[in-house]
Structure 1
């Protein structure tokens, strides 16, 4: 059943991706991968970026180390790239996308929300903290913390579990091919916000229940599918979401 076929209030939680949904960062990941490869005499192209998008940090760092014929270990490769991403964040290069803060705030007033990201834990925590969004999230999951990265559904299934929700009662917001595939495979209804710089494949986009024009469109779609606000505007904690589920 698609989102448009369900009545308002039929969903109980929302799971967001981070890169390309909350923050403008996809191009920075590509820059850092290319920088690492170039320092070792290799040319990183859009083809390599397409191959690693959605991978967990251990997965893409293994690919990058092999592609670059690096002498560094996989862990050292990951650390070098993530250090550069943290530096970019500190330098003000990883900014919220227009409408992201309002979207997160208003959705968190209505239902528990989680993050299911391919970014490593260190960057997830730093991004949410810098932009003052941490308090809104009842759960955050890095794909490095589950068996397989996107397009496997593992990170979305883990997020739903941490929220105490059935994935079929969750909405997911994604921008990339493998992210769309992962959320759909988890059984969630997916709202797509296609990344113009890295447009999703047609087969992946077809898995979305709704394709949004921008984050304001996403916000209105989510708000319309969730119950009316309850509790404080600071968001829901996981225990609150379980009580909501049990009393529904």
Structure 2
């Protein structure tokens, strides 16, 4: 049964906002997803999926990107092989994805609007900032450095470091531990439903972040998250 969560926000004009005591709801740390949350990168993966499956004579199923987003590369490769009956090994598929994505992250991927401003706002307030991501360090670290925000983060955790994907709380618990904090001392910002639910299960305060590539889930994200935003501008006072 989902725990009682709705006393943590207030409503204005039909929208749910965080309490007045602060955007971060009094938390000592905030854990951010990257793709679709801090990085405006989901279009890159949409194109990769289109090219990857197109080379094999397949259309991209409507639910494919949403299905693999919480999994990380290894689990996503296994899922892809099983779903489509491919003969390649997971390692071969991962290598193909790496080749397609590495240049885009190093040279193209930008931040979501006002993300840097909000991160610096948190930093000035002494709030610890961490990352929980399905992406690989060799991809996202160059993107964060090029966009000038790498030094704002305390640490990061990838799904490779934990037993299960983002639909479970493992990755958020590991990142909170790295930050020296308990789950109840942290907020988690995510843009996909399964990840919001995974963080919820660990006792984290959750904030849904709108991204056009998960718009089909947005109504459910609003229902399950403690709060939600369309833009980081809403959070900066």
TM-score range, shorter chain: 0.7 to 0.9
Please give the residue correspondences for 1:28-47 in structure 2 after superposition, counting only pairs within 5 Å. 28-47=44-63
Structure 2 unaligned runs (5+)?
1-6, 10-17
Task: Write the distance in 1 (CA, Å) between the matches of 2:98 and 2:236.
Answer: 30
Are the equivalent residues in 2 in contact too, given 1:53–1:178 (CA < 8 A)? no
TM-fit CA distance, 1:219: 4.1
Are the equivalent residues in 1 in contact too, given 2:106–2:143 (CA < 8 A)? no
Please give the residue correspondences for 1:171-190 in structure 2 after superposition, counting only pairs within 5 Å. 171-190=187-206
Task: Write the distance in 2 (CA, Å) between the matches of 1:91 and 1:205.
Answer: 33
Question: Does 2:43 correspond to 1:27?
Answer: yes
Map of 1:17 onto structure 2: 33
TM-fit CA distance, 1:202: 3.8
TM-fit CA distance, 1:154: 1.0
Name the CA shift for 1:129/1:91 in 2 (closer, same or farther; >3 Å). Answer: closer
RMSD: 2.0
Quick check: 184-193 or 83-92, which moved more?
83-92
Name the CA shift for 1:22/1:106 in 2 (closer, same or farther; >3 Å). Answer: same
TM-fit CA distance, 1:29: 1.1
TM-fit CA distance, 1:16: 0.6
Question: Does 2:124 correspond to 1:117?
Answer: no
1:144 to 139, 146, 160: 160
Are the equivalent residues in 2 in contact too, given 1:37–1:43 (CA < 8 A)? yes
TM-fit CA distance, 1:124: 2.5
Are the equivalent residues in 1 in contact too, given 2:196–2:206 (CA < 8 A)? yes
Name the CA shift for 1:218/1:80 in 2 (closer, same or farther; >3 Å). Answer: farther
Task: Write the distance in 1 (CA, Å) between the matches of 2:161 and 2:177.
Answer: 13
TM-fit CA distance, 1:41: 2.1
TM-fit CA distance, 1:184: 1.4
Secondary structure, aligned partner of 1:140: strand
Question: Does 2:149 correspond to 1:95?
Answer: no
Question: Does 2:100 correspond to 1:84?
Answer: yes
Map of 1:213 onto structure 2: 230
TM-fit CA distance, 1:176: 1.0
Task: Write the distance in 2 (CA, Å) between the matches of 1:219 and 1:150.
Answer: 27
Are the equivalent residues in 2 in contact too, given 1:191–1:208 (CA < 8 A)? yes
Deviations 1:108-144 (A, max 9, x none): 2221110011112222222222222211111111112
Task: Write the distance in 2 (CA, Å) between the matches of 1:196 and 1:106.
Answer: 25
The TM-score with structure 2 as length reference comes to 0.84
